[in-house]
Structure 1
Amino acid sequence: MQAQSEVYTLNPKIERIANILHLVGWVSFWLQLGLGAASALMLIFAISGRNFSQAVAPTPGVPVPTYTQGTTPGIGISIFWGICGILALLFTLYLAFRITRFSKRLRNPDPALHPHKAEVMKVLRVAVIAGFVGMLLTILGGGSGLGVLLSKSIAQPQGVAIYDPNRIIRSLDIFVATASMTGITAHFIGAVASLGLFNWLHPEL
């Protein structure tokens, strides 16, 4: 039994697979976590920053416009899809962490504790699908946010002061669109990493 454990511990094929799972799993996890945190922070700033520009210094003789920061058409939908994308990213982060656990189990000298090929492939397959679903959600959010920016830029009169707050491009709109683009990047990294592992491990395991 001891000799069999040593053979499995020193098996170069198992060791190579464990190393690849460990490297790709952790790189994918930390990249997605960093980008997801940035996207979440931008969404938080966008939601909480609706009233940032409400304090306008009054000018004598000039009527002060009333800014309604939360009435921009399309921004609420963009924020909703962005939050859905963040939730999907949390699930892909869990799957990336599971991949690193597979690596740890493969390094165990007891072959009975090694993950089965079907189990690893199932997690990778689900991770690929979750990555593409997350990209779709954040694309919907980014598309609606960019649509708001486009409609506002077209509606702005050129060369004159703008007193209609609904025509002003605010930092809120840009934050939401940027958060969606960052979320798309995070989901893309997760999907590519999982798909690459799936294609590489299929003939290996």
Structure 2
Amino acid sequence: MQSESEVRSLAPATQGIGNTIRFTGWIAFWLQLGLAVVSGIALLFAATGRGFTDQPNAGLGVGIFWAVCGVLLVLFNVYWDFRYTRIGKRLANPNAAVHPSKADTTKAIRLGIIVSLAGILLTLLGAGATLAVLVAKSISQPPGVAITDPYNIIRALDVFVMLGNVNAITAHFVGTVASLWLLEQVHKH
């Protein structure tokens, strides 16, 4: 059993890392939630708007699919950021019995990093497919004002897909940076 003096000397360091994890978790939570909402709304506009047009565009469907997969992973990361806040709260508790182990904390942070990197990959696939469609449409138009093929016009809905992908990439980047920083802080203690 630990003596009272050992608990007092251990408490400030553990409480400090607990507060750091909790504060970082809240920052990442709100940033990723905001970016997920913006990305989701942009993809919702793009997906619902596709039903109102007669212009088929299979390439954008692939971009929307990967973007939606990326946004789902952002939502998982938002949950995981909230979990960081709970881990931080447990570490800041003066009762050492409720503290998670360093190995468990590290394992949780590493899972956050892996999910963020997987999300970056998925949304990069979506952004690449969307960008390929946008480039193909832009170079297929002859110079001047005459539009020869209405299917090759870049529409606002096409840009919304790209907006959704870029916001999801940004959200995953925020999650990756936050998790890497937390991992570094945990290893210091």
The two structures have a TM-score, normalised by structure 1, of 0.85
Corresponding letter in the other structure for 1:13: A
Q: How does 1:3-152 map to 2 (within 5 A)?
A: 4=4, 7-8=7-8, 11-50=11-50, 68-69=54-55, 71-152=56-137
Structure whose residues are more often helix by fraction: 2
The residue type paired with residue 80 of structure 1 is F
Cα distance in 2 for partners of 1:84, 1:99 equals 23
Aligned residue in 2 for 1:180: 165
Aligned-residue RMSD, C-alpha? 2.1
Partner of 1:167: 152
Conserved? CA contact 1:75–1:148, under 8 Å: yes
Structure 2 gaps of 5+ residues are none
What stretches of structure 1 of length at least 5 have no aligned partner?
55-67
Kindly indicate whether the alpha-carbon contact (under 8 Å) linking 2:19 and 2:92 is maintained by their aligned counterparts in 1: no
Number of equivalenced pairs: 188
Alpha-carbon shift at residue 165 of structure 1 (Å): 2.3
Q: Which residue is 1:63 aligned to?
A: none
Cα distance, 1:6 vs structure 2: 10
Give the Cα separation in 2 of the matches to 1:169 and 1:193.
Answer: 36
1:124 Cα offset (Å): 0.4
2:18–2:92 CA contact under 8 A, matched in 1: yes
Contact 1:38 1:182 survives alignment (8 Å): yes
Structure 1 segments of 4 or more deviating over 2 A? 3-11
Q: Which amino acid aligns with 2:184?
A: N
Cα separation, 2, equivalents of 1:45 and 1:9: 55
Identity of aligned residues (%): 49
Q: Provide the C-alpha distance between the structure 2 equivalents of 1:5 and 1:50, rounded to a whole number of angstroms.
A: 67
Which whole-Å CA distance do the structure 2 matches of 1:4 and 1:97 have between them?
32
Instruction: Report if the CA contact (8 A) 2:15-2:94 is conserved.
Output: no
